[in-house]
Structure 1
Amino acid sequence: MVDENLIHKALANPFRREILRWLKTPEEYFLRSRIDLGCGVPLNAIHARSGLSQSTVSAHLATLIDAGLLVSTRVGQWMFVMRNDEVIRAFAEQIRKEI
């Protein structure tokens, strides 16, 4: 189920849109030699690329996850995120039909 209001709120912030762009093609933005992108991108890689504080990045990621735009996966002590393209497509289709 797509919560349109949560998605609009999440997309209202330019940094959150930037995160979604980075995760659309992570191989362009994150060093592949150090990161196995099969599970997504580790949170620390997003933090390092952003130049923002860890707590700020975590808050933005939590908003994207709550909206359903990202999926998080824990592997051992590491947390990885990837885009939820199914939700993104459904939201885009909903916007196309309604507006």
Structure 2
Amino acid sequence: MNIVEVFKVLGNPTRLAILQNLREPEKHFPPQDEGDVTIDGVCVGSIQEGVGLSQSTTSTYLASLQRAGLVTAKRMGGWTYYKRNEANIKKLIELLGKEL
């Protein structure tokens, strides 16, 4: 995990908000027709609606979070679902404790 890249990704307030809101998806995103938010994650459409951005911008932000290792993606049919990568977030917190 590259700390500089993670900070670049989290330096954008909307990407940070998406990551924070994925901690409690039922509270921050509209209900979705398919998939369980805890098991499968949150559909891109629900995230888009929750943050009020275009689909393309939302997808770009989610891809950045995924490349940084902060979220995982799961394809189900024609949809992609995202959820926090808690294991990597924990590693990042531990790494920050050692580096700072």
- Same fold (TM > 0.5): yes
The whole-number CA distance in structure 1 between the counterparts of 2:49 and 2:30 is: 12
Contact kept, 8 Å, 2:48 with 2:58, in 1: the verdict is yes
2:27 maps to what in 1?
Answer: 28
Q: Going by fraction, where is helix more abundant, 1 or 2?
A: 1
Gaps of 5+ in 1: none
Contact kept, 8 Å, 2:71 with 2:82, in 1: the verdict is yes
Deviations 1:18-57, CA, capped at 9 Å, x for gaps: 0011101112112447452120000000011111111111
Gaps of 5+ in 2: none
Q: Secondary structure at the match of 2:69?
A: coil
Matched pairs, number: 98
Q: Provide the TM-score with structure 1 as the length reference.
A: 0.90
RMSD of the TM alignment (CA)? 1.4
* Higher RCO structure, 1 or 2 (CA under 8 Å, sep 6+): 1
1:4 maps to what in 2?
Answer: 3
Runs of 4 or more above 2 Å deviation: 30-36
